Structure 1
Amino acid sequence: MERRATLLNVLKLTKRNFWRILVTWNRSQIPVDNFVDNLSVLSDFLGIWLELHHAVNHASVGAALWLRPEAEAQCRLCDPKQARKFRTEEKDGLLGFLGSGKSRGYEPNSRPKLERRRIIRSCTSSERFVQQETVTIAGRPVTTESLKVFGVAVSTIVLATLNKVLFKMALVPLKEYPFFLAQLTTFGYVLVYFSILYFRYKAGIVTKEMLNFPKRQFVAVGALEALGIATNMAAAAILPAASIPVLLQTYLVWQLVLSALLLGKKYTKLQILGCLMVIAGVILVVASGGGAGSIQERGLLWPLVMILSSFFMAGASILKESAFTDARRQLKGGSLDIFVVNSYGSGFQGLFVLLMLPLLAKTRGMSMSQLVPYFKAGAACFVNAGSLVQGCQGAPLIPLLYVLANMSFNIAALSLMKSSSAIVSSLAVTASVPLAIYAFTLPLPYLGTPPPMPPGLFFGSAILVIGLAAYNLAPKVPAKVE
Structure 2
Amino acid sequence: MTSFVRRLTVGSTIPHVPVHHQKFKPTIEIPAFPLLPHNNQRPLGIALRSRKYWRVEAVGPVGRSEGGDGTKKAGGGPGPGPCSYSLGDRTTEVERRERNRTVEVVVAAGVTVVLGVGNRVLYKLALVPLKHYPFFLAQLATFGYVLVYFSVLYLRYHAGIVTDEMLSMPKAPFLAVGLLEALGAATGMAAGAILSGASIPILSQTFLVWQILLSIIFLGRRYRINQLLGCFLVAVGVIISVASGSSSGHSLKEAGMFWSLLMIVSFLFQAADTVLKEVIFLDAAQRLKGGSIDLFVVNSYGSAFQALFICLLLPFLSKLWGIPFSQLPNYLKDGAACFLNIGGTLSSRCDGAPLLPLLFVIVNMGFNISLLHLLKISSAVVSSLASTFSVPISVYVFTLPLPYLGVASSLPTGFVAGAIILVTGLLIYAWTPSGSTAALPSPSN
Task: Give the TM bin, normalised by the shorter chain.
Answer: 0.7 to 0.9
1:249 corresponds in structure 2 to 205
* Contact 1:171 1:178 survives alignment (8 Å): yes
Q: As a proportion of its length, which structure holds more helix?
A: 1
2:289 corresponds in structure 1 to 332
Residue identity matched to 2:392: P
* Contact 1:166 1:398 survives alignment (8 Å): yes
Question: In the superposition, relative to structure 1, how do residues 129 and 446 fare at CA in structure 2: closer, same or farther (>3 Å)?
Answer: farther
* Contact 1:163 1:402 survives alignment (8 Å): yes
Q: Partners of 1:260 and 1:309 in 2: how far apart?
A: 20
Q: Partners of 1:479 and 1:412 in 2: how far apart?
A: 20
1:317 corresponds in structure 2 to 274
Write out per-residue CA displacement over residues 113-155 of structure 1, whole angstroms, 9 at most, x where no aligned residue.
xxxxxxxxxxxxxx999746749xxxxxx61221121111100
Is residue 410 from structure 1 mapped to residue 372 from structure 2 by the alignment? no
* Contact 1:271 1:474 survives alignment (8 Å): no
Is residue 477 from structure 1 mapped to residue 433 from structure 2 by the alignment? no
Residue identity matched to 2:312: L
Is residue 285 from structure 1 mapped to residue 241 from structure 2 by the alignment? yes
Aligned pair partner of 1:303 in 254, 260, 268 = 260
Residue identity matched to 2:114: V
Aligned pair partner of 1:452 in 407, 410, 415 = 410
Q: How many residues align?
A: 359
* Contact 1:417 1:424 survives alignment (8 Å): yes
Q: Partners of 1:223 and 1:160 in 2: how far apart?
A: 24
Q: TM-score under structure 2 normalisation?
A: 0.77
Write out per-residue CA displacement over residues 386-422 of structure 1, whole angstroms, 9 at most, x where no aligned residue.
4262310011111111111101111110000001011
Q: TM-score under structure 1 normalisation?
A: 0.71
* 1:204-215 correspondence runs (5 A): 204-215=160-171
Q: How far is the alpha carbon of 1:239 from its aligned partner?
A: 1.4
1:34 corresponds in structure 2 to none
1:89 corresponds in structure 2 to none
Q: Partners of 2:258 and 2:441 in 1: how far apart?
A: 39
Aligned pair partner of 1:435 in 393, 396, 399 = 393
SS at match of 2:403: coil
Question: In the superposition, relative to structure 1, how do residues 359 and 420 fare at CA in structure 2: closer, same or farther (>3 Å)?
Answer: same
* Contact 1:246 1:282 survives alignment (8 Å): yes
Q: Percentage identity across aligned positions?
A: 55
Write out per-residue CA displacement over residues 130-185 of structure 1, whole angstroms, 9 at most, x where no aligned residue.
746749xxxxxx61221121111100000000110011001000000000000110
Q: Partners of 1:456 and 1:478 in 2: how far apart?
A: 32
Question: In the superposition, relative to structure 1, how do residues 175 and 268 fare at CA in structure 2: closer, same or farther (>3 Å)?
Answer: same
Residue identity matched to 1:327: A
* Contact 1:321 1:422 survives alignment (8 Å): yes
Write out per-residue CA displacement over residues 334-373 of structure 1, whole angstroms, 9 at most, x where no aligned residue.
0111111101111111111110111101101112111100
Q: Partners of 1:413 and 1:214 in 2: how far apart?
A: 23
Q: Partners of 2:90 and 2:128 in 1: how far apart?
A: 50
Question: Unaligned regions of 5+ residues in structure 2, if any?
Answer: 1-24, 27-70, 79-88
Q: Partners of 1:478 and 1:316 in 2: how far apart?
A: 18
Q: How far is the alpha carbon of 1:477 from its aligned partner?
A: 2.4
Is residue 273 from structure 1 mapped to residue 229 from structure 2 by the alignment? yes
Q: Partners of 2:404 and 2:247 in 1: how far apart?
A: 23
Residue identity matched to 2:111: S
Q: Partners of 2:345 and 2:293 in 1: how far apart?
A: 45
Q: Partners of 1:128 and 1:332 in 2: how far apart?
A: 22
Q: Partners of 2:129 and 2:212 in 1: how far apart?
A: 38
* Contact 1:272 1:471 survives alignment (8 Å): yes
Q: State which drifts further: 201-210 or 241-250.
A: 241-250
Question: In the superposition, relative to structure 1, how do residues 375 and 478 fare at CA in structure 2: closer, same or farther (>3 Å)?
Answer: closer
Write out per-residue CA displacement over residues 58-112 of structure 1, whole angstroms, 9 at most, x where no aligned residue.
xxxxxxxxxxxxxxxxxxxxx9889x99xxxxxxxxxxxxxxx99xxxxxxxxxx
Residue identity matched to 2:270: M
* 1:94-243 correspondence runs (5 A): 131=93, 134=96, 143-243=99-199
Question: In the superposition, relative to structure 1, how do residues 359 and 128 fare at CA in structure 2: closer, same or farther (>3 Å)?
Answer: farther
Q: How far is the alpha carbon of 1:272 from its aligned partner?
A: 0.5
Residue identity matched to 2:102: S
Q: Partners of 1:347 and 1:80 in 2: how far apart?
A: 52
Residue identity matched to 2:183: L
Q: How far is the alpha carbon of 1:241 from its aligned partner?
A: 2.7
Q: Partners of 1:226 and 1:366 in 2: how far apart?
A: 19
Is residue 461 from structure 1 mapped to residue 423 from structure 2 by the alignment? no
Q: Partners of 2:180 and 2:389 in 1: how far apart?
A: 24
